[in-house]
Structure 1
Amino acid sequence: MKKKRHLTQQQKRRIKANRQRRIDQRNDSQEVAATDSQNWLAGTVTGRFGQHADVEIEREQTLRCHIRRSIDSIVCGDRVEISTEQDSSGGMEGVIELVHDRQSLLSRPDFYDGIKPIAANIDQIIVVSSIRPDLSTHIIDRYLVACEETGIPAVIVINKIDLLTDEERQTVETELQVYRDLGYPVVYTSCKTETGMLPLQAVLNNKVSVFVGQSGVGKSSIINVLLPDADELTGAISDTSGLGQHTTTTAKLLHFPSGGDLIDSPGVREFGLWHIPVEQITRGFVEFRDYLGGCKFRDCKHLNDPGCIIRQAVEDGKITQARFDSYHRIIASLDENRPSHAETAPKS
């Protein structure tokens, strides 16, 4: 007779956890089925706080809601259905029962947690950069690749232009004309002088926008000018590193009186792209697209390969050297920045 195999403590814990998960899922299903969906209220998530989220009901009331365990993720901009009930103090509290399909989703890679969603149902991404810390078109290029990968239109905002002399501003505008030529709107702003705020407001009207950009570029300061009642915290530039200080800690959705919404996301100093396949990064440089598939070799790296028509386009002045160099800096950084526990980005 075969000797009975005893389970290890680890196996017992795993079985217990799996059993409890099945019980929780069954209870959740029963609770949802028992709820009268006719009494659910439609709302929009305006903030996420651990296992709770703020849900705004028709811009009249905001409820702090529990998130049902069967719901995978909740982010700012999600359109949801909630059930409500009286709490012990006589006020209202809610439970998010259902998340509607997202029309769009902006995510970013996290070194430890994998791909993290930031905001949902966005019409446009506002890529905010600034003169200080030093203006980096390479950082702008990284954000634009992420925007192209999501299929969400991008607008470039260059802040703190009051720090430039007239000659320096002309140089910056000449340098950034390439983005206008590629079809990206570029808006120059100053929170100190309020230069460019009216054109920026016109871009934001009647759309759901999300601000992204490195810490310290002035996202919160811009919001304070556009929405004085928002009272966003602002931070100074570090004297030692020259980098911005994190001021926004959680994403939040704000309303413009003239129409439109803005999602202010936590600042990030580096927007990783290691989760995106190389082919998608190449397509993220929109001026490359007319040449893709035309190189002599299918596995062309678009560097020193013979018969590379993208490199030829650079030599002919049809693609700027700066953007070409920025592309290769991104490609070279993929393996360097990819966490060891993450899978290599698949080829499309």
Structure 2
Amino acid sequence: MAKRKLTRNQARRIESNHARTLHRHHKKDIEWQDDMLGESQEGIVVTRYSVHADVENTQGEICRCNLRRTLSSLVVGDLVIWRKGNEQLQGVSGVIEAIQPRKNELTRPDYYDGLKPIAANIDRIIIVSAVLPALSLNIIDRYLVVCENAGIDPVIVVNKADLLTSAQEKEVDEQLKIYRDIGYQTLMVSAQNGKNMEKLTALFREGTSIFVGQSGVGKSSLINHIFPTVNAQVGAVSETSGLGQHTTTSSRLYHLPQGGSLIDSPGIREFGLWHLDKEQITKGYREFQYVLGTCKFRDCQHLHDPGCALREAVEEGRISPIRYENYHKLIESLSETKSQRHFSIT
């Protein structure tokens, strides 16, 4: 008899119950008494697991810690107050007691759990794209909407430049010019032959950066090139689907030798924007802000409305028609999927 396929909700419940069982198991087996812990100290979360986190103290020592039940959420980049144990208990060295206020956070919507933070205290977001599976300006635009609403500076990086001919490289550079013209920094790199990798690592010298991008664009390969000793697992792009395999299972923060830090988060093939409304989507297009509010009608939809200043800016060459088209595709997708509260980046 063939096995009955689980529905998405059933699979979700099974996974959730499994996680709760593990959580109860660890809580039961590891009970830190106050006299077993040292003084409170500051630290930063460098890796987040399901029920544990690795914390680095001010001396650079990394300890695996439990989390107090009162902590609502904890992500890589969080500054925390923690206490080290006098001894290890089942490989755990301490406990995190409090999270310091976040400067900012990067979140992604989850169909079941609402907004989920994935990293905190970020100075720049590195949007990694690639010529394989395909360079998609639509996907880049969607990530930029997230960056603009989060108030975090983005840098657009196109990996796998070694796969391009001279003519193809020129074509991609013309596409990236759309973003340079509106103030975004762009860079074409190759983890394979090292093209522009020194320029990429120079971006990380100050503050904390995070890689975001679809699976298969080569984030792990870039990490391996920057940190040869890390040996991040590299996955091949599926020959049949053209979609990359997820290669990073836990978010992790790395310190660069020249200064600065880099967060590598699990590959995201789906990055819904259903939590944003139309005004927030519009806010995500920075070049639109110069003409918004000057349309003939206050409820202008920026399509065929008479006196639309945004459409006129496109016709006059002041706004990219590709960005304008992507904007309306995003608005349309948002309207079609609001009831489902989810859509995929494809």
What is the TM-score when the length of structure 1 is the normalising length?
Answer: 0.85
Deviation for aligned residue 1:242:
0.8
> Counterpart in 1 of 2:7?
none
Matches within 5 A, 1:118-197: 118-197=118-197
Amino acid at match of 1:65: C
Letter in 1 for 2:265: S
The 10-residue stretch of structure 1 (204-213 or 52-61) with the greater mean CA deviation from structure 2: 52-61
Deviation, structure 1 residue 340: 3.4
Report the equivalent of 1:311: 311
Q: Which residue of 2 aligns with 1:298?
A: 298
What are the Cα deviations for residues 165-184 of structure 1, in whole angstroms up to 9, with x where unaligned? 10111111011101111111
CA distance in 2, matches of 1:241, 1:161: 21
Q: Secondary structure at the match of 2:156?
A: strand
**Is contact 1:84-1:92 (8 Å) kept?**
no
Pair 233,38 (structure 1): closer, same or farther in 2 beyond 3 Å: closer
Deviation, 1:92, is 7.0
Letter in 2 for 1:187: L
Output the CA distance in 2 between the equivalents of 1:341 and 1:272.
8
SS of the counterpart of 2:229? helix
2:210 alignment counterpart: 210
- 1:217-254 alpha-carbon deviations (Å, 9 max, x no partner): 00000010011111110111111111111111111111
Mean Cα deviation higher: 299-308 or 145-154: 299-308
Do 2:237 and 2:244's aligned partners in 1 also have CA atoms closer than 8 Å? yes
State the structure with more CA Rg. 1
CA distance in 1, matches of 2:333, 2:292: 22
C-alpha deviation, 1:270, in angstroms:
2.9
| In structure 2, distance between residues paired with 1:165 and 1:73 | 46
Change beyond 3 A, Cα 1:319–1:63 = same
Q: Contact (CA 8 Å) 1:86, 1:92: kept in 2 or not? A: no
Range 266-275 or range 331-340, more displaced: 331-340
Distance in 1, Cα, partners of 2:190 & 2:198: 11
Give 2:42's aligned residue.
42
Distance 1:35 1:287 in 2: 58
- 2 CA distance for matches of 1:99 and 1:271? 26
Do the aligned residues in 2 keep the contact of 1:46 with 1:77 (CA within 8 Å)? yes
Residue 75 (structure 2) pairs with residue 78 (structure 1): no
The separation in 2 between residues aligned to 1:268 and 1:341, in whole angstroms, is 17
What is the one-letter code of the residue matched to 1:58? T
With the length of structure 2 as denominator, give the TM-score of the two structures.
0.85
SS in 2 for 1:199: helix
SS in 2 for 1:56: strand
Mapped partners of 1:341, 1:284: distance in 2: 19
Structure 1 residue 39, shift from structure 2 partner: 2.0
1:111-134 residue CA offsets vs partner (Å, 9 max, x unmatched): 222111010000000000001011
Contact 1:44 1:78 in 2 (8 A): yes
Aligned position for 1:289: 289
- Deviation, 1:305, is 1.3
Q: Which amino acid aligns with 1:196?
A: N
Change (3 A) 1:39 1:194: same
Q: Secondary structure at the match of 1:116?
A: strand
Quick check: 1:220–1:232 contact (8 Å CA) kept in 2?
A: yes
Unaligned runs of 5+ residues in structure 1 are 1-30, 343-348
Distance 1:38 1:295 in 2: 63
| Structure-2 separation of matches of 1:73 and 1:89 | 23
Secondary structure of 1:211's match?
strand
Tell me the distance in 1 between the aligned counterparts of 2:176 and 2:79: 36
Q: Which moved more, 1:86-95 or 1:99-108?
A: 86-95
Q: What letter is aligned with 1:273?
A: L
Deviation at 1:215, TM superposition (A): 0.3
**2-structure distance, mates of 1:55, 1:176:** 38
Total equivalences in the alignment: 311
Name the CA shift for 1:278/1:59 in 2 (closer, same or farther; >3 Å): farther
**Structure 1 residue 275, shift from structure 2 partner:** 0.5
Please name the residue that 1:273 is paired with. Answer: 273
- The 3-state SS of whatever aligns with 1:230 is coil
Which residue is 1:100 aligned to?
Answer: 100
Distance 1:126 1:257 in 2: 19
The secondary structure found in structure 2 opposite 1:275 is: coil
Report % sequence identity. Answer: 50
1:37/1:314 CA distance change after superposition, 3 Å: farther
Hey, what does 1:255 align to over in structure 2? 255
**How far apart in 2 are the matches of 1:341 and 1:167?**
41
Gaps of 5+ in 2: 1-30
* Paired residue secondary structure (1:173): helix
Call closer, same or farther: CA 1:231–1:338 in 2, change over 3 Å. farther
Q: Using the TM superposition, give the Cα deviation of residue 295 of structure 1 relative to its aligned residue in structure 2, in angstroms.
A: 1.3
Aligned counterparts of 2:279 and 2:137: Cα–Cα separation in 1: 21
C-alpha RMSD over aligned residues = 2.2
Looking at structure 2, the residues matched to 288 and 195 of structure 1 have their Cα atoms a distance apart, in angstroms, of: 33
